[in-house]
Chains A and B, each alone.
Chain A
Amino acid sequence: MSVTMPPQHPVEDDKPTKGKSLTKAAKAKENLTSPWATAAAIIIAMVWTIPTVALFMTSLIPGDRYRTDAWWTVLADGGLTFENFNQVLFESFGDNSTAPPLLEYVFNSIVVTVPSVVFPVVLGLMAAYAFAWIPFKGSNFLFVLIFALQVVPLQLALIPLLRILGPENLGLAGEFPGVWIAHTIFALPLSVFLLHNFVSHIPREVLEAARVDGASHTQMFFRIIIPLSLPAVASLAIFQFLWVWNDLLVSAVFGSADTYPLTYPISNLAGDYGQYAYLVPPAAFISMIIPLIVFFSLQRYFVRGLLAGSTKG
C-alpha cells in the first residue's frame, strides 16, 4: 500500500554544506540545551534498541535454565552459551526433537524471496515505462486503478487466489512457484507506482532524442529506461526483499511444509511455552541477521524508496 507524497523532494541524506555548518552547529546546541528533549531522545533510543539486545542475550541462556533464570543472572555466573544457535540451526527446531533444523527454513526463505523480488520489479518496470511515457487510451484510468489496488487488503484476495493456484486449477499452491506468483501479484501495485514515480521524472529530451533517432519502445526500455532507473530499482528491490523475507501471511496461505520460510515455524513455536520454548529467541535472532545486514548496508537506498512515497502492507 502506498500514498502519494506531497510534491516535495527530500533528498535522502542531506549532506550539510560547508556554508551552512555554522548555523547548523548553533541549532544543534540549541536543541541539546533543552534537557528534556535530550532525555526524551535518549529514552526513545534506548526503548528502541534494548529489546533487540535482550533477544540476543536471551538466546544465550542454556535450555535448562531458560524458564527459571533471567539472562542477566546467567550472565553474572558466566553460564551463557552459543549452544542454542547450534541446536536450532543444525539439529532441530520445533515442539519435538524430530522437527527439522532451522537451516532448512533459512534456505526456504532464500528460495521464496529472491524470485519474489525479481519478478515484480521487472514486470513493474515494464508497466511503469508504458504508463509514464506511452500515451494510450485508458492509460490514466488503469494507472489510478493500480494505485488504488495498493490499499486493498491482501485478505480480500486470499481465498479465491488460493483456489486459482490450488490443485483443481494450476496446482501450484504449496509449492515455491505458487508462493512466488502470490508474492509477485501482491507486490505489483507498489512496484508499478513507485517505479512510475521515478521513470516519469526522466527528462523528456532524453527520450525524445532517442525516439527521433527511430528507437522503438523495446529499444528505449533496454537502452534508456533500465540504466537510468537502476537507483529506483535498487530501492524497490530492497523494500520487496525485506517485505517478502519478513512475510508470514502469504507464506502461510500459499505455502506448505516444503516451502515455509523462517517466520512460520518461529511464529508457531513462539506461542508454545513448553519445554522447547528456549529455542524461540535464538531462532528469532537468526531470522533477523540477513535482513539487518541488508538493511544496514543498503539503508540509503531503502530510505530513498520510502521517501519516494510508499510503503506497503
Chain B
Amino acid sequence: MPSTAVMAAGSGLHAASDLGPSFWAAQGSNLLFAALAILAFLAIVGLIMYGADLIKGSARDKVQLVVLVTPVLALLAVGLIYPAVDTTWLSFNEITNEPDPDTGVFTTSMQFIGLDNYRFAFSDPSTLRTILNTFVWMILVPLMSTGFGLAYAVFIDRAKGEKALKSLVFMPMAISLVGASVIWGNIMYDYNQVGEQTGMLNALRALVGLDPYNFLVDDPWNTLWLIIILVWIQTGFAMVILSAAIKGVPVEMNEAASLDGASAWQRFWRITIPSIRSTIVVVLTTITIMALKVYDIVRTVTQGRDNTDIVANRMYVLSFVEGREALGAALAVILFVFVIPVVIYNVRSLNKVKETH
C-alpha cells in the first residue's frame, strides 16, 4: 500500500502553519463585524421601542404600533412586493444595449415588447423542455415524498424505537440540497466508463450482473434520478407531519373497527386516510411549492445538461450568467403563475381557520 504510507507521512494536523496570521485576522474581523451588527441592531430596536414608550398621552399607542409593524412592512414592500412587480414588468420588455446613433455611446434601454418573452419561452425547444421538466418535478416530488413519508409513518407507528427510526429518515432535512446533490450525484449515481464501478448503485448493479448505467445522462430518466434527490430530502418532512396527524386519529375508532373485523389495510384506507386528509393536502401543497423553486440540485449535479434543466435554474443562468434578464424575469413569472392556485387555496384555508377560531 504505497499510497497509504505516503498519506500517513504527510498527515497530522498542520492547520496553523498553512493559515497565516492574515487569514485569522480576516476571519476574526468578519466575526467581530457580525457580532457588532447584531448588537447594533438590537440596540437600535431597543432604543426606538424605549423612546416610543416615553411618549405621553394618547399618541403613545399609535406610535408604538407603528414602531412594531413598520420594519416588516417596509422591508417587505421594498424587498419583495416592489421587486415582484418590477420583475413582472421587466418580463414584458426587452433590454437593449446599443450605441446611440448620434453620440456612439452605448446606452441601455428598455422597450415594451408585450408577450414576446413568453412566446419565446414556450416556443424555444430547450426552454419549453425546461418548463415541462419543472412540471414533472412539481407533480412527482410531492407525490413521491408524501407517499414514502406516509408509508413509513404508518409502518413505524407505535413500533419499538419509533423515535430513532423517525430520526433516520428525518435527518436529510438538515442536509443542504448541495450536500444531498453531492451524495447522490457524485457517489450514488457515479458512473465509470471503464474499470471498477465506484458509484454505489452501479456497484450494486454489477453485483447482480447488470451492465453499468449512466444515470445522469439517460434522458428522460435522468430527471427522475434528480427528482429522487429532493424526494430523499422532503420525505422526512412529510413523514413527521403525517405521523403527528396519524397520532391524532382517535384510538377508539381503530379499536372499534378492529373488533368489527376490519383488517389493517382496510382500517388504513377507511379510517386513517379520511381522518388525515386535510394534513395530506397541506403536505402536498407545501412540497409542491418547494419543488418549484429548488435550483440547487440541477445546478450542482448536471448544470442543466442532457435535458435536465428546470425553470428555477434556467432563470438563474439567464439573469445572472448570460445577462438576459428580461427572459429570466419571464421565467420567474411563469414560476409564480404555477403557484398562484396554491396561494389562493392557502388564503382561503387561512380565512377558514380564522373563522373557526
Contacts and interface: CB of A to CB of B under 8 A. Distances in A.
Interface of A: 1-8, 10, 12-14, 20, 23-24, 27-28, 30-32, 34, 37-38, 40-41, 44-45, 47-52, 54-55, 58, 62, 64-73, 77-79, 81-83, 86, 89-91, 101, 103-104, 107-108, 110-111, 114-115, 118-119, 122-124, 126-127, 129-131, 134, 136, 142, 144, 146-149, 151-161, 164, 176-177, 180-182, 184-186, 188-189, 192, 216-219, 221-222, 242, 245-249, 252-253, 262-263, 266-267, 270-271, 277, 280-281, 284-285, 287-288, 291-292, 294-296, 299, 303, 306-307, 309, 311, 313
B163 interface: yes
25 contacts: A1-B286, A7-B357, A23-B251, A28-B158, A48-B232, A51-B200, A62-B4, A79-B3, A103-B15, A142-B69, A149-B76, A152-B84, A155-B332, A156-B335, A159-B90, A160-B82, A188-B76, A218-B67, A263-B176, A281-B187, A288-B179, A291-B175, A294-B174, A296-B174, A313-B293
A156 B351 CA distance: 26
A44 B152 contact: yes
Interface string B302-321: 11000000001001100110
Nearest to B291: A313
Given A48-B232, A118-B38, A159-B325, A68 B53 contact: no
Among B76, B81, B203, B302, max chain A CB count under 10 A is at B76
Given A115-B38, A122-B42, A311-B290, A216 B176 contact: no
Nearest to A310: B286
Among A69, A188, A217, max chain B CB count under 10 A is at A217
Contacts of B19: 90, 101, 103
Contacts of A246: 175-179
B285 interface: yes
A73 B169 CA distance: 28
Contact of B346 (A4, A66, A126): A4
Interface of B: 1, 3-4, 7-8, 10-15, 18-19, 23, 27, 30-31, 33-34, 37-38, 41-42, 45, 49-50, 52-53, 60-61, 64-65, 67-69, 71-73, 75-76, 78-84, 86-88, 90, 148, 151-152, 154-160, 163, 165, 167-179, 181-188, 192, 195-198, 200, 203, 232, 235-237, 240-241, 244-245, 247-248, 251, 255, 264, 278-279, 282, 285-286, 289-290, 292-296, 299-303, 312, 315-316, 319-320, 325, 328-329, 331-333, 335-336, 339, 342-343, 346-347, 349-351, 353, 356-357
Contacts of A118: 38, 41-42
B9 to A, nearest CB: 10
A45 B168 contact: yes
B279 to A, nearest CB: 6
Contacts of A146: 72, 76
A270 B185 CA distance: 8
B29 to A, nearest CB: 10
Among B192, B303, B350, max chain A CB count under 10 A is at B350
A70 B196 contact: yes
A88 to B, nearest CB: 12
A41 B342 contact: no
Contacts of A58: 186-187
A76 B19 CA distance: 34
A282 to B, nearest CB: 10
A182 B279 contact: no
Among A12, A161, A189, max chain B CB count under 10 A is at A161
Nearest to B90: A159
A83 B7 contact: yes
Given A32-B159, A146-B76, A159 B87 contact: yes
A51 B174 contact: no
Nearest to B81: A149
Nearest to A13: B163
A221 B353 contact: no
A271 B303 contact: yes
A270 B183 contact: no
Contacts of B151: 40, 44
B157 A70 contact: no
A306 B152 contact: no
Given A70-B203, A299-B167, A90 B14 contact: yes
A10 B248 contact: yes
A148 B169 contact: no
B41 A115 contact: yes
Contacts of A82: 11
Given A129-B68, A156-B87, A248 B173 contact: no
A91 B80 CA distance: 40
Contact of B282 (A5, A131, A222, A313): A5
B293 A153 contact: yes
B73 A142 contact: yes
Contact of B178 (A32, A221, A270, A277): A270
Among A30, A248, A252, max chain B CB count under 10 A is at A248
A222 B50 CA distance: 10
Contacts of B182: 55, 266, 270, 280-281, 284
Contacts of B356: 7
Contact of A37 (B61, B81, B155): B155
Contact of A280 (B154, B186, B292, B333): B186
Nearest to B254: A27
